[in-house]
Structure 1
Amino acid sequence: MFNTKDNIFMIIITGEFIIGMLGNGYIGLVNWIDWIKKRKISTTDYILTNLAISRMCLISVMVLNGIIMVFYPDVYENNKLMVIIFIFWTLSNYLNIWFATCLNVFYFLKIANFSHPLFLWLKRRIDKEIRWILLGCFAISLLFSLMLVMVLNCNYSVDVIAKHKKNITGISHVSKIPYFNPLTLLNLFAIVPVIVSLISFFLLVKSLRRHTKQIKLHFTDCRDLSTEAHVRVIKIVTSFLFFFFLYYAVFLLMNFSYLMTEEKLAIMMEEIIAILYPLGHSLILIVVNNKLRQASVRVLMCRKIACML
């Protein structure tokens, strides 16, 4: 029987799962319908659709992993199942981080205004090369997933040896530090695309400041389409960075949960917070993106009219 704490966790995590799947599913569905109507898809919509799919996978794996960790911890004694879960988590995790970075860089190239030759070259090439870039992101994510398989298999061998020694010597405690280092270091490679997003963020701010100064010299009104576009993209990148650092801070804490008195409660809280990353950033994308926001308004209006009838 579940206690009150377990029931609350299940309610919250189920709610997050539903909202996350609906939000990301909505992004994919709107772009897919628009693709069917126009028989072509913009670069932005293409990246957003792939990002939404990867986040739906990530949310599903995270929710499944959270339920298993809290309610069925013995399942992790099955090495094959553990490997499968962590492979899917690593693959979807890296995919959504790289795809989000591609979106941030694409917005930066389209909105920012610099005269550097490299910037101008990337600005011209990004639309043509985006499919190859996303394919490269998939290859990198798959590579890290395969590396994870080797790390987990190695850890499993160490675990078997440790258990054998424990049975022989009667040692009652086996350190969990060896399990922390490889997995954590492997997933910390995700900092590479985040650094790219940080660079894009600072360059966007620099571009906005330069543009604002130019506008002030020629016009009394500092608000124009370019300024609004800069501000909108900066909000998107800022929200991504905020949710990402929150997500990875929780991930690191989960590695030390076994040191806490209330280990199960700590895992529950960390899992709830971690799911906010693929959920919250996608909701912000819907609000900031004009097409997605207008489509959501039309859906709400149609629903309101249907209810009135």
Structure 2
Amino acid sequence: MADSTEGDTDAQYLGLLVLALITLIPGLVIHLFIIRVNVTDWWKGRSVTPVDHVVTSLGISRMCIQCANILYFFIYPLFRQNLDLLVTLLIGLICDSLNYVNMWLTSLFSIVLCLKISNFHTRLFLYLRGMIVHRTVYLIGASVLLSAVNSLISLLLTVTKISSGGTYNTTMANPMTNCADSDYVYPVTIAVSFPLLFYCIFSVLLFTSLYHHTTKMKMSSNSSINLETYYSLMKFVSITFIYNTVYFICYISCILYYFVYCVNPDRLYIVLDFLTVLHSSYLIYKTAKLRSQMSKVLQNITDFLFLRKDTETRENIEVVDL
């Protein structure tokens, strides 16, 4: 019976590893593509908008999250018994920080997009547009710093819990906390709620602005106005809102699942990685610059494959002639 159980565990581990790698490989390609296009534009002195800055930072954070999850769930368990408690806690700190960064950057993306596109004319809105849009790089840095602080608070709570007499089980799946440690769940929930709140507010504002604008244009006597661009933007905002909501729900579910069952839901974390890959792919599709560069890359790959096939065909014909 023990051998059968061990075999099932190994099979599940291998299956999870295969799923993670299937998500990791296209994810790294997509995220690296986004980073490369925007960094190349910046390097060549071309115009790089605040939205480009946020999208590039999102690509970097998501690529780091995928790599960290692979190390955390599949490489780290092999060496867990030989690692000190401090190293184990730092590994958890890094993984949590990366997830927080992704959430804050996604919210910042919504804020910058709303301030750039919306046509509100209130003093507060115009002030925020002038202040935030021109300080996007600083806000990206602030998002990273705030995420590190949030993770550090959880780490300090865990260390305090252990120092005050709590037991630490080194065989647990989650090295950050003692099993069902409520001191960890509360700061995580609060840290996740703030970026979600900002994202919802600015996404609703952007959608409302676009909706009212299209309504006025439809009522206008000028029938030659093309509304496809606005409808496309509204669709983009809606799909991105759905993605972000699902991502936050899945992440909170991961925390609550561990809190209830004392087991890390590895499959849910793989789902989170898959969601980031889907969203980055959608960003490429909806961003004209990225879509154009991707078309060129795909065209070059197609030309290379067909050229290679034609070359092999000619070589086979020559061999037959000989």
Normalising by structure 2, we get a TM-score of 0.80
In 2, Cα distance between equivalents of 1:268 and 1:226? 39
Which structure has more relative contact order (CA 8 Å, sep 6+)? It is 1
In 2, Cα distance between equivalents of 1:75 and 1:202? 48
Partner of 2:209: 207
Confirm or deny that 1:122 pairs with 2:128.
yes
In 2, Cα distance between equivalents of 1:29 and 1:122? 30
Give the share of equivalent positions with the same residue, in percent: 22
* Post-superposition offset of 1:13: 0.9
Aligned with residue 14 of structure 1, among 21, 24, 37: 21
* Post-superposition offset of 1:162: 4.3
Confirm or deny that 1:35 pairs with 2:35.
no
Letter in 2 for 1:279: V
Confirm or deny that 1:294 pairs with 2:292.
yes
Contact 1:54 1:95 in 2 (8 A): yes
In 2, Cα distance between equivalents of 1:123 and 1:94? 24
Confirm or deny that 1:176 pairs with 2:179.
yes
* Post-superposition offset of 1:209: 2.3
Aligned with residue 249 of structure 2, among 218, 222, 245: 245
Confirm or deny that 1:272 pairs with 2:277.
no
Partner of 2:314: none
In 1, Cα distance between equivalents of 2:148 and 2:270? 26
Structure 1 residues 100-109 or 289-298, which shifts more?
Answer: 289-298
Contact 1:91 1:144 in 2 (8 A): yes
Structure 1 residues 50-59 or 213-222, which shifts more?
Answer: 213-222
Write the deviation string for residues 220-259 of structure 1: whole angstroms up to 9, x where unpaired: 466243443343333333322222322332332233333x
In 1, Cα distance between equivalents of 2:46 and 2:72? 38
Aligned with residue 46 of structure 1, among 25, 42, 53: 53
Other structure's SS at 2:44 match: helix
* Post-superposition offset of 1:148: 2.6
Larger Rg: 2
Partner of 1:148: 154
Other structure's SS at 2:265 match: helix
Structure 1 residues 105-114 or 32-41, which shifts more?
Answer: 32-41
Letter in 2 for 1:247: Y
Partner of 2:117: 111
Letter in 2 for 1:22: V
Aligned with residue 157 of structure 1, among 163, 184, 188: 163
* Post-superposition offset of 1:291: 1.4
Contact 1:286 1:292 in 2 (8 A): yes
Letter in 2 for 1:126: I
Partner of 1:102: 108
Structure 1 residues 81-90 or 272-281, which shifts more?
Answer: 272-281
Structure 1 residues without counterparts, runs of 5 or longer: 164-174
Contact 2:65 2:95 in 1 (8 A): yes
Letter in 1 for 2:184: L
Contact 1:76 1:82 in 2 (8 A): no
Structure 1 residues 195-204 or 285-294, which shifts more?
Answer: 285-294
Letter in 1 for 2:215: K
In 2, Cα distance between equivalents of 1:246 and 1:36? 37
Normalising by structure 1, we get a TM-score of 0.83
Contact 2:23 2:273 in 1 (8 A): yes
Closer, same or farther: CA 76–49 of 1 in aligned 2, 3 Å: farther
Contact 1:95 1:137 in 2 (8 A): yes
Closer, same or farther: CA 72–183 of 1 in aligned 2, 3 Å: farther
In 1, Cα distance between equivalents of 2:226 and 2:257? 44
Contact 1:212 1:222 in 2 (8 A): no
Letter in 1 for 2:141: L
Contact 1:58 1:278 in 2 (8 A): no
In 2, Cα distance between equivalents of 1:27 and 1:184? 34
In 1, Cα distance between equivalents of 2:305 and 2:256? 47
Closer, same or farther: CA 268–136 of 1 in aligned 2, 3 Å: closer
In 1, Cα distance between equivalents of 2:56 and 2:20? 24
